[in-house]
Structure 1
Amino acid sequence: MDPVIDPSMRAATATNLSPEILSGGTGPDMRFTLRLVASYFAADRWIGGGLVIVYILLAGGGSFFMLKAQEKLADITNALAARQGGPVLGLAVIVLCLGLVFLVTALITELCQYVVRIRARRYFTENALSKWLTGNRFHRIEQAVSLDYPEQRIQEDIYIFIEKVLALGPGMIASMVPMALYSMKLWSLSLPIPLTAIGLPFNLHGAFFFAAIGFTLFWTYMTHVLGRDLTASEVVRQNLEAEFRHDMATVRENSEAIAFERGSEHHANRLNGVFGLIRGNWHRYTVAQLKIRFCLNFPSMAFLVLPSLMCAPFILDGKMQVGDIQLVGASFNAVYLSVGVVIQMYAQLAILRSAAARLRYLEERLNAPAHAGIDHSMTTGHDIRAERLTVFYPDGTTMVNVGDLAIRRGDRLLIKGKSGAGKSTLLRAIAGIWPFGRGEVILPAESKVCFLPQRAYMPDGTLAGLMSYPNEPEPALDEKLCGLLDLLGLARLAPQLHEYAVWRNILSPGEQQRVAAARVIVNQPDYLFLDEATSALDSHSEANLYSLLDEHLPDAAIISIAHRQTVQQFHTKTINVVDGTLVVI
């Protein structure tokens, strides 16, 4: 077994089962779908709901016009069979007019669908983004490793879900109109059949109609039996495709490091391995699609001869005309398509269910309660306090026993210790992004707190945007930003202040750390935590950076994690993390 492939991906491909399928079923997915649809129409009742009603009415109206066109075509056939050419031209004009009306209604229904699709996508996307980004849930679910690629679920699965719901839902409702119209027509075309041959003293009415209904129900059941594997295959396919995209993006984003370490062969093996899983899943996916394709195509072949066979005895007896074959065939097919709408839409319903299952799983993970551990609260005071704080490893064993700790504005605190002692995790616990532990962290509600890690976040954008993050850059700050670049030895970048670029690929690690330092100076925090934030700088640049922080943040508390002794001079208090305890020096 190739060790670079995620074992869970291998298992899902081999068994055609994924966490989404294992965590639910058809019932939960259907209820989730109905709940999402109901929530949208509750929020967009008048415009969204009104457009869907127009869509359904026009779709039903289109079926009515199509039925009338079929009747006129049957009249044309009968006229030609009787060698009567007079009515043909007038009937043809009527058919063309009905076709034109049908075309207009089809275009309007399509327009309604596209408008509702973007409105619904906006509603679901905004809700999903809000839930994902609120309360650092995006970080929590990454820590728990309980959900893969939420970004794909928010972007692609919402798109697929809306597309399929709006394509299938109104269509299924609108199918009731042609079902009623063509059922009545098929019933009226069904001549009474005596049942005396089988010992029953009455006639069977509506034989064509009952034949259509019986065949449709039987074939619906067969379609489900043959095609039920498609949903599971589609969910696994989506997960594998997401993994494949992610692995390629990893190569792109880390191209320099991979090139330096000659890692292309490793990543080629990994990508080929993941694509091999995609191919394995594709076999199941293809077989499921072929089964459904058979279920779709077989009735079409049967309907080529079935109407003629059904009508033949009545035509030979002179009770029906030749043109009636076309009308019976069209009506039989329309009843089959209406009653058997699940057959026609089975593949799309399977894809809809797969999108619903992935979105349901996303919602379950986002709604999962946070790990009950360290409590965080806000106070009207000005100090950061930890009370009875103990930081755990994820498995529950003790990492650092902090006890009580107070950090006041103006403090200069250096935290030292061996690598892996828990220094960085202590800062994460204070920041509220490390849930494993017990005790309480109390943060001042009116104070601004900034955390500067070793590798600061560098979003795509302008240099001014990087220095102002998470706030938007203001033109009034340009002079200050250029001055900070000069003080940090980056004056050459000043002309590029408003140039949009992927700066994390342009700036060296040391330059990124200096830009991050400029960012905290611009944001003026009351408490600044630095976690190896100068590790890529030489001693002179490091000293210059700390001097600037002292100068521009005189009243702020600066708490640093560092290994170099040169940083000591900028701090008045030192804490050593030794064997899981804090030792104040």
Structure 2
Amino acid sequence: LQSRFLPGVPQQVAAIWKGPWGLAVMVFFGAGAAVFAAFRSSLRHRRWVPWLLLGAIALLVLVINAINVGISFVARNVDNALVAYDQTGFWKVVAVYAFCLVLALPIRALQTYLIPKLGLLWRQWLSERLLERYMSNRAYYLINPNDETGGEIDNPDQRITQDTASFTGTSLEVSVGIIEALLTFFSFIIILWTISVNLAGILFAYSVIGTALVVFISRRLVVLNNAQLRLEADFRYGMVHVRDNAESIAFYRGEQQESKEVVRRLGNAIANYDRLILWTAAINVVKRSYDYFSRFLPWLVIAPIYFAKDADFGVFSQAGIAFAQVFSSLSFIVANIEQLAAFSASISRL
């Protein structure tokens, strides 16, 4: 099965494992386990749980990446079996593919659970620290929420509640996404390089140019997201102000004045969000074009190799999978530019 479904891969893995990279991996995991065991006793009140979850997430990322590499070889042999009318070989490959899916689905589900769980623990810890600082030295009194222009810190309640939740959740998703992108890139670029050096080079150049273009266009998006968070918080505080001072407003008949103020804040939020919609739509057009054009590149490069009979038909599937994986890893910023822009706004406010 190894020679048929994973040709040469076990030998390459064994060579890497016996070399300096294998030693580095063993030292890294050994040192991590030793540090965790040494400091576990000092991590009271279950403070060791987040570190355990972080280690489990890292391990699951490695396993998922290894399964994806194996699936690329399985897909290649599926096409080869179909072209050769090899029914027995086809069903064997399908069985291997089914096994990979059965193995990957629960691992992916567990990873999907652990990431927000770790984010929840981090949010609790960070919120408690910010609340402690906010309630000490009369900071809550010195920061005047009614003054929209007199201070640098607007809407501290939103920063401690909404921005903290956004920061902790998004930062973990982005961090895990970057690690997955790096692992995917280094795993599949080797496969892609063995299939076609030209395809690997074209992909790298295309991704770098596309990423630079999208990042350049999206600079304005960060500013608009930051402004939207502030304006939405101002509008919400205006409504809270009416609720908390309902008796005084009714006594002095200040409904008209308060209504104008709340409507003004709403108008500011709507106007900024309208600009945000326009920029998001423009960026999505660029992203879609960037994605659609990339789907033709593997066919254009691999077709001459196949017609020259220098590669089997299954190489189309494997090249397509490897190309898609490497393209996805190199396009991480492009695919998540809106999330990264909102994340940047949350960081600046915290």
When the two structures are superposed, what TM-score results if normalisation uses the length of structure 1? 0.49
Within 5 Å, give how 1:110-509 maps onto structure 2: 110-142=112-144, 145-146=150-151, 147-190=153-196, 206-359=197-350
Equivalent pair of 2:199/2:298 in contact (CA under 8 Å): no
Equivalent pair of 2:166/2:343 in contact (CA under 8 Å): yes
Q: 1 CA distance for matches of 2:272 and 2:134?
A: 30
The Cα of 1:234 is off from its aligned counterpart by: 0.7
Equivalent residue number for residue 550 of structure 1: none
Equivalent residue number for residue 7 of structure 2: none
Equivalent residue number for residue 90 of structure 1: 92
Q: Which letter maps to 1:336?
A: F
Q: 2 CA distance for matches of 1:295 and 1:63?
A: 29
2:138 partner SS: helix
Superimposed CA distance per residue, residues 301-327 of structure 1 (whole angstroms, 9 cap, x where no aligned partner): 113322111111112111223332221
1:229 partner SS: helix
Superimposed CA distance per residue, residues 380-429 of structure 1 (whole angstroms, 9 cap, x where no aligned partner): xxxxxxxxxxxxxxxxxxxxxxxxxxxxxxxxxxxxxxxxxxxxxxxxxx
Superimposed CA distance per residue, residues 10-49 of structure 1 (whole angstroms, 9 cap, x where no aligned partner): xxxxxxxxxxxxxxxxxxxxxxxxxxxxxxxx98984323
Equivalent pair of 2:287/2:334 in contact (CA under 8 Å): yes
Task: Out of 137-146 and 82-91, give the one that drifted further.
Answer: 137-146
Q: Which letter maps to 1:163?
A: G
Indicate the structure (1 or 2) with the bigger Cα radius of gyration: 1
Q: Which letter maps to 2:119?
A: R
> Relative to total residues, which structure has the larger helix share, 1 or 2?
2
Q: Which letter maps to 2:166?
A: I
CA-atom RMSD, angstroms?
2.1
Q: 2 CA distance for matches of 1:242 and 1:121?
A: 20
Equivalent pair of 2:120/2:169 in contact (CA under 8 Å): no
Q: 2 CA distance for matches of 1:288 and 1:102?
A: 37
Equivalent residue number for residue 109 of structure 2: 107
Q: Which letter maps to 2:255?
A: S
Superimposed CA distance per residue, residues 472-517 of structure 1 (whole angstroms, 9 cap, x where no aligned partner): xxxxxxxxxxxxxxxxxxxxxxxxxxxxxxxxxxxxxxxxxxxxxx
> Relative to total residues, which structure has the larger strand share, 1 or 2?
1
Count, aligned residues: 303
1:87 partner SS: helix
The Cα of 1:354 is off from its aligned counterpart by: 0.4
Identify the structure with bigger relative contact order (alpha carbons < 8 Å, sequence gap 6+).
Answer: 2
The Cα of 1:148 is off from its aligned counterpart by: 1.6
Q: 2 CA distance for matches of 1:230 and 1:247?
A: 26
The Cα of 1:70 is off from its aligned counterpart by: 2.6
Equivalent pair of 1:56/1:171 in contact (CA under 8 Å): no
Equivalent residue number for residue 52 of structure 1: 54
Gaps of 5+ in 2: 1-41
Q: Which letter maps to 2:183?
A: V
2:312 partner SS: coil
Q: 2 CA distance for matches of 1:105 and 1:295?
A: 34
Fraction of identical pairs, as percent: 21
Q: 1 CA distance for matches of 2:280 and 2:58?
A: 29
Q: 2 CA distance for matches of 1:53 and 1:45?
A: 14
Q: Which letter maps to 1:69?
A: I
1:319 partner SS: coil
Equivalent pair of 1:186/1:332 in contact (CA under 8 Å): yes
Gaps of 5+ in 1: 1-41, 191-205, 360-585
When the two structures are superposed, what TM-score results if normalisation uses the length of structure 2? 0.81
Q: Which letter maps to 1:268?
A: S
Q: 1 CA distance for matches of 2:214 and 2:186?
A: 23
Q: 1 CA distance for matches of 2:104 and 2:282?
A: 33
Q: 1 CA distance for matches of 2:332 and 2:235?
A: 35
